[in-house]
Amino acid sequence: MAKEKFQNFTSRLVPLRMDNVDTDQIIPARYLKATDKKGFGEHLFQDLRFNEDGTPKPDFPLNKPHYKGAQILLARENFGCGSSREHAPWALLGYGFKAIIAASFADIFRNNASKNGLLLIELPYQDVDQMHGDVLENPEREAFVNLAEDTLIWKGQPYTFPNNPFTKKMLLEGLDDIGYTLSFAKDIDAFEKNKK
Amino acid sequence: MTKSKTEKRTLYDKIWDAHVVREAKDEPSILYIDLHMIHEVTSPQAFTGLETRGLSVRRPDRTVATMDHSVPSIDRGVFPWLDALAQKQVEMLAANCKKYGITLHDLKSAHQGIVHVIGPELGLTQPGKTIVCGDSHTSTQGAFGALAFGIGTSEVEHVLATQCLLQHKTKSMAITINGTLKPGVFSKDIILRIINEIGIGGGTGYTLEYRGSAIEKLSMEARMTICNMSIEAGARAGMIAPDETTIEYLLKRVKFKSDAERKQAVEEWRGWKSDEGAAFDKKVVIDADSIEPMVTWGTNPGMSVGITGVIPNGGNEEIVGALEYMGLKAGQKMQGQPVDYVFIGSCTNSRIEDLRIASKIMNGKMIAKGITAFVVPGSQEVKHKAEEEGLHEVFLSAGCEWREPGCSMCIAMNGDMVPAGKYCASTSNRNFIGRQGKGARTFLMSPAMAALAALEGRIEDIREYI
């Protein structure tokens, strides 16, 4: 199935200056009971973002007015650790994020993100830390994401990020893994035939 | 990439090589999946996707389903669903299984249970197999020398449609535990110590192989506890090569058509091990004698300390935040820390051996005043066996609740939860913020330590009681 093609874009960064943000923080398990992919964005970072009575916590970055509408989350180390719930990228995308910058990402989260068109930008820890400082200094500063060139432009500087050629192609062309694998159905048939 | 026949290969290399359908430069490999287990929470969107594409389930015979995450743990005659959504998930799973001809162990089945507990019980989990499930603790089944790992819902759909996954090969890490565990120290303590040492991101990008004399002495149940928490170190998977302990377990579970078939299977199982001298990308060695009963103090499974230790001084904001959430202080001793709730269960520690250990400690005693203790067997089979042995009577007379199988208070999706601000001694796998309920504070530990905490009303050193 064709998906939306990933387009280059410009956005502010929302800083979430925390290591090891686990999937229970991204979307708590009590919201995993839906049977479709919609509506998870409302509960993104629920317990970090909202008080007991449902009012927004003013200090949480997503609630600060100058980050409203930003499409890039600036995280830190080991973002997305924990469970395999794909509800985590669904929640991030549902909220409006298109890319996440971090020093590292958890393994299953990485898979789940790429399959949904959420771009993960992995940069050295020092660079990520520096960006956190930069954002605090000027929250209105914008970054430019150029997927085809594996580059993030920040403060006029290009930051090159590792980009798996296959994942990149799938994102740029809006292709889908299942379609790709089904194009090798004959190989799967042959494998099954050889297997006892 | 597959390795040449002349190269020395790890167990992971061998399973990988045997399942590559197609490989090409700059593209992920297409890896064949032998067994796909599904449950109610991460499968509905996958089936919907399949339908939208007009596809069907390629191999229903290689797909097995159960219900575990959001099912009630109390009297199933009444079916007290937490809410209509939980009920809908379960009903959708039943409908999807019926439509596509997938075997479902539903709430009425004698085999219902936590997905990672029932795979081995049914004899489906075998050495050399590739096993996936939309749950990160699928790594549990690596204890049998299988390559087992958790996947997301898009990948569930991918496996349903193609019986394959797109995979990049991970690096390999050998974790060797030498020597003998001291009395009162269990496999849960081994894995908590490993995570403490390598860190919760220390296994990212790796498949772990646990080995060494201390691992070889463990039962299959204890091995599953270790492999279960591989993901808590960030690893793709964790595995232990099969040996006579594995084969003994399998021969009781796997069904064969003939003696010849059985002999052939045993022969094949024995071959699933790393070659002598096979190269690993990283090696970690831990002396079993140096492992104490472990307990977590923070908000991830790496934030732990031996029972005689103290909470480390907050050097960074993550530790400060964790201690604030937990209501604890740096330098504080964990021994003597009061608890309000005790949870013995989850895919980490809900098998018969875990319940035997806990019941031995609780036998003839009462839990402390004010403690709520849940004992939740991992499967109907475990529950039945425990009741046959009278373990449930020990728990019930001690004042514990004896519940129906499922994930229960580990993920708190079914209404079994720890209230905000309360402390829980838990045999589960995650002490994340809000994991056992909003505001709940979790201490991870072994079933023996959790049982003792229930009796004492506080965390104590099991070694002083045995």
Q: Tell me the ipTM for this assembly.
A: 0.96
Set of chain B residues whose Cβ sits within 8 Å of the Cβ of A28: 434, 438
Query: A188 and B32 in contact by Cβ < 8 A?
Result: yes
What's the confidence (pLDDT) of residue A2? 67
Residues B155 and B203 in one domain: no
Q: How far is CA B316 from CA A169, B170, B320, B328, B374, in A?
A: 39, 31, 6, 15, 35
* Tokens at A170, concatenated: 């799938």
Residues 271 to 310 of B: which have CB under 8 A from any A CB?
Answer: 300
Q: In the predicted model, is pLDDT for residue B85 greater than 90?
A: no
Residues B127 and B186 in one domain: no
Q: Which of B144, B167, B190 is the last residue of a domain?
A: B167
* Least confidently predicted of A186-195, B2-11, B208-217, B353-362: B2-11
Residues 402 to 421 of B: which have CB under 8 A from any A CB?
Answer: 411-413
pLDDT tens column, B16-47: 999 999 999 999 999 999 999 999 999 999 99
Count Cβ atoms below 10 Å from residue A96 Cβ, excluding itself. Answer: 14
Give ∠ CA A79-A4-B45 in degrees, rounded to 5.
65
- Per the CB < 8 A criterion, the answer to whether B427 and B452 are in contact is no
d(CA B302, CA B189): 12
Query: What is the amino acid identity at position B452?
Result: L
Query: Does residue B3 lie within any of the structural domains?
Result: no
Give the nearest partner residue to A107 out of B92, B134, B204, using CB atoms.
B204
**Is residue A194 exposed (0-12), middle (13-18) or buried (19+ Cβ within 10 Å)?**
exposed
* Tokens at B240, concatenated: 């232990």
Query: Does residue B250 lie within any of the structural domains?
Result: no
Q: How far is CA A82 from CA A88, A156, B228, B320, in A?
A: 11, 35, 12, 21
Query: A177 and B154 in contact by Cβ < 8 A?
Result: yes
Query: Does residue B261 lie within any of the structural domains?
Result: no
What's the confidence (pLDDT) of residue B179? 98
Q: What one-character DSSP code corresponds to residue B335?
A: T
Quote the minimal CA–CA distance from A21 to chain B in Å.
9
Q: Is A143 helix (H, G, I), strand (E, B) or coil?
A: strand
* Tokens at A25, concatenated: 């923080």
How many domains, in total, are found in chain B?
Answer: 3
What's the confidence (pLDDT) of residue B1? 72
What's the confidence (pLDDT) of residue B231? 97
Quote the minimal CA–CA distance from B426 to chain A in Å.
17
Residues B332 and B226 in one domain: no
What's the confidence (pLDDT) of residue A129? 97
Q: Which of B167, B194, B227 is the last residue of a domain?
A: B167
Set of chain A residues whose Cβ sits within 8 Å of the Cβ of B168: 164
Task: Tell me which chain B residue has its CA closest to the CA of residue A115.
Answer: B154
Q: In the predicted model, is pLDDT for residue A37 greater than 90?
A: yes
Give the nearest partner residue to A82 out of B28, B88, B430, using CB atoms.
B430
For residue B195, give the CATH number of its domain.
3.40.1060.10
For residue B159, give the CATH number of its domain.
3.30.499.10
Own/partner contacts of A191-194, CB < 8 Å, gap of 24 or more, are A191/B21, A191/B32, A192/B32, A192/B163
Residues B193 and B123 in one domain: no
Q: Does A163 touch chain B (CB under 8 A)?
A: no
d(CA A121, CA A137): 22
Average pLDDT estimate for B47-56: 97
Set of chain B residues whose Cβ sits within 8 Å of the Cβ of A32: 41, 69, 413
Query: A78 and B136 in contact by Cβ < 8 A?
Result: no
Query: Does residue B1 lie within any of the structural domains?
Result: no
Strand spans (E) along A91-190: 99-102, 119-122, 142-146, 151-154, 157-160
Give the nearest partner residue to A85 out of B21, B42, B433, using CB atoms.
B42
Q: How confident is the model at residue A138 (pLDDT cuts 50, 70, 90)?
A: very high
Quote the minimal CA–CA distance from B205 to chain A in Å.
7
pLDDT tens column, B6-18: 899 999 999 999 9
Query: B234 and A165 in contact by Cβ < 8 A?
Result: no
d(CA A25, CA B305): 24
Task: Tell me which chain A residue has its CA closest to the CA of residue B88.
Answer: A35
Query: Does residue B444 lie within any of the structural domains?
Result: yes
* Tokens at B406, concatenated: 């499922």
Set of chain B residues whose Cβ sits within 8 Å of the Cβ of A195: 32
Residues B213 and B131 in one domain: no
Query: B27 and A36 in contact by Cβ < 8 A?
Result: no
Query: A33 and B413 in contact by Cβ < 8 A?
Result: yes
What's the confidence (pLDDT) of residue B237? 98
Give the nearest partner residue to A78 out of B83, B92, B200, using CB atoms.
B200
Q: Does B60 touch chain A (CB under 8 A)?
A: no
Q: In the predicted model, is pLDDT for residue B79 greater than 70?
A: no
Per-residue b or e along A103-135, where b marks 16 or more CB atoms closer than 10 Å to that residue's CB: bbbbbbbbbbbbbbbbbbbbbeeebbeebbebb
Query: Does residue B81 lie within any of the structural domains?
Result: yes
* Tokens at B70, concatenated: 């959001």
- Per the CB < 8 A criterion, the answer to whether B198 and A98 are in contact is no
Known binding positions of B for [4Fe-4S] cluster: 347, 407, 410
> Are β-strands B237-239 and B304-306 bridged in parallel, bridged antiparallel, or unpaired?
unpaired
Q: In the predicted model, is pLDDT for residue B76 greater than 90?
A: no
d(CA A134, CA A151): 18
- Per the CB < 8 A criterion, the answer to whether B440 and A28 are in contact is no
The residues, ordered by sequence, that sit 6+ positions from A28 with a Cβ below 8 Å of its Cβ are A43, A46, A47, B434, B438
Strand spans (E) along B225-287: 237-239, 282-287
Q: In the predicted model, is pLDDT for residue A52 greater than 80?
A: yes
Q: Does A30 touch chain B (CB under 8 A)?
A: yes
Residues B133 and B19 in one domain: yes
Residues B182 and B133 in one domain: no
Count Cβ atoms below 10 Å from residue B240 Cβ, excluding itself. Answer: 27
Q: Which of B255, B289, B323 is the last residue of a domain?
A: B289
Q: How far is CA B421 from CA B2, B12, B418, in A?
A: 51, 43, 8
Query: Going edge to edge, which strands form the sheet with B29-32?
Result: B20-22, B29-32, B164-167
Residues B179 and B76 in one domain: no
Q: In the predicted model, is pLDDT for residue B314 greater than 80?
A: no
Set of chain B residues whose Cβ sits within 8 Å of the Cβ of A82: 136, 231, 430, 432
The mean pLDDT of chain B is 96
- Per the CB < 8 A criterion, the answer to whether B226 and B148 are in contact is no
The mean pLDDT of chain A is 95
d(CA B182, CA B201): 28
Residues B427 and B387 in one domain: yes
Average pLDDT estimate for A105-126: 96
Task: Tell me which chain B residue has its CA closest to the CA of residue A184.
Answer: B22
Q: What one-character DSSP code corresponds to residue B424?
A: E
Query: Does residue B277 lie within any of the structural domains?
Result: yes
Task: Say what percent of chain B tops pLDDT 90.
Answer: 94
Q: How far is CA B182 from CA A75, B196, B287, in A?
A: 41, 19, 11
What's the confidence (pLDDT) of residue A28? 95
Quote the minimal CA–CA distance from A153 to chain B in Å.
26
Residue with tokens 């590739």: B130
Please report the domains of chain A, with CATH numbers, ordered by start residue: 9-195 (3.20.19.10)
pLDDT tens column, B374-403: 999 999 999 999 999 999 999 999 999 999
Q: In the predicted model, is pLDDT for residue A124 greater than 90?
A: yes
Q: Is B2 helix (H, G, I), strand (E, B) or coil?
A: coil
Range of the domain at B322: 294-464
Set of chain A residues whose Cβ sits within 8 Å of the Cβ of B157: 178
d(CA B172, CA B238): 10
Which neighbouring-strand residues pair with B164? B32
Residues B196 and B57 in one domain: no
- Dihedrals φ, ψ of B349, to 5°? -145, 65
Residues B156 and B109 in one domain: yes
Nearest to B210 by CA among B243, B165, B249: B243
What's the confidence (pLDDT) of residue B313? 86
Q: How confident is the model at residue B83 (pLDDT cuts 50, 70, 90)?
A: confident
- Per the CB < 8 A criterion, the answer to whether A27 and B152 are in contact is no
Known binding positions of B: 347, 407, 410
Query: Does residue B2 lie within any of the structural domains?
Result: no
Set of chain B residues whose Cβ sits within 8 Å of the Cβ of A177: 154, 158, 166
d(CA B150, CA B166): 13
Q: In the predicted model, is pLDDT for residue A146 greater than 70?
A: yes
Residues B100 and B234 in one domain: no
Task: Tell me which chain B residue has its CA closest to the CA of residue A194.
Answer: B21
A–B interface: beta-carbon pairs under 8 A: 158
Q: How confident is the model at residue A195 (pLDDT cuts 50, 70, 90)?
A: confident
Q: In the predicted model, is pLDDT for residue B80 greater than 80?
A: no
Measured in Å, how far apart are chain B's first and last C-alpha atoms? 50
Query: A36 and B48 in contact by Cβ < 8 A?
Result: yes
Give the nearest partner residue to A111 out of B42, B152, B161, using CB atoms.
B152
d(CA B251, CA B466): 33
d(CA B266, CA B127): 10
Q: In the predicted model, is pLDDT for residue A127 greater than 90?
A: yes
